[in-house]
């Protein structure tokens, strides 16, 4: 994550910025595909359907075979691929609103209702028991196997599982300025403050040292 000082605005989109998987859950990592600054969204990494698939494969939402299949599907229907990217941004914003509310102690009913009535409803409606290659029963979305929305459906389902679990109490917002990323704090003492120590944590420590030096006699 390319964190900056608060005074310098960054481009709203950055197709070359790397994805980071530091949130502890795919739904959280989707929210962390953009920087939520006071000036608005910056360094948005979801610039194409190919990038969405890259993120989804890295997050473990889909496997490589599914990514390859959806890549071919997107190439044959670029209009639907662009629509899926817009849907990804909408799901990301709804999840961010939920996470922000929960970590701020305010009512999250409205964004939760949006999740329920949107991608989560689609996920629940298509969920089915199937058998894997070894004959074991597994939950999945066989009717959406070729849908460009499959990564979003799976992510919405994972978001619901997180929000309904004990881990929701461990959800945190990074303390770094101009970050806005989230994470599930599974540290032993429960005192994690940063999405990444080497970015936000290091920068904040440097800022504090500079402030101490400036105030020293």
Name all domains of the chain by residue range, CATH numbers in brackets. Answer: 26-168 (1.10.3300.10)
Provide the CB-side half-sphere exposure for 48 (13 A, CA): 12
Quickly count: other Cβ atoms within 10 Å of residue 54's Cβ. 17
pLDDT, tens only, 146-175: 999 999 999 999 999 999 999 999 999 998
Could you give phi then psi for residue 65, rounded to 5 degrees? -65, -40
Nearest to 118 by CA among 139, 91, 145: 91
pLDDT digits (tens, 9 = 90+) for 169-215: 999 999 888 899 999 999 989 889 999 987 785 666 665 555 566 66
Q: Is the pLDDT of residue 4 over 50?
A: no
Q: Percent of the chain scored above 90 by pLDDT?
A: 80
CA 144 to chain centre: 21
What is the value of pTM for the model shown?
A: 0.89
């Amino acid at each position: 994550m390319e964190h900056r000082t608060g005074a310098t605005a960054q481009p709203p989109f950055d197709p070359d910025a790397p994805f980071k998987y530091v949130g502890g859950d795919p739904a959280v990592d989707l929210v962390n595909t953009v920087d939520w600054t006071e000036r608005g969204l910056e360094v948005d990494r979801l610039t194409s359907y190919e990038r969405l698939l890259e993120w989804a494969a890295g997050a473990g939402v889909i496997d490589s075979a599914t990514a390859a299949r959806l890549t071919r599907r997107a190439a044959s229907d670029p209009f639907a691929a662009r629509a899926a990217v817009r849907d990804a941004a909408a799901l990301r914003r709804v999840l961010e609103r939920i996470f922000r509310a929960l970590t701020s102690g305010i009512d999250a009913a409205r964004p939760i209702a949006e999740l329920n009535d949107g991608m989560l409803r689609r996920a629940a409606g298509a969920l089915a028991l199937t058998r894997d290659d070894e004959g074991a029963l597994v939950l999945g979305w066989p009717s959406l196997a070729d849908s460009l929305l499959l990564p979003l459906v799976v992510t919405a389902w994972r978001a619901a599982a997180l929000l309904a679990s004990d881990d929701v109490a461990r959800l945190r917002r990074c303390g770094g300025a101009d970050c806005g990323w989230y994470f599930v704090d599974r540290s032993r003492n429960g005192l994690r403050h940063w999405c990444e120590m080497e970015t936000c944590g290091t920068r904040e420590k440097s800022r504090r040292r500079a402030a101490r030096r400036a105030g020293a006699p």
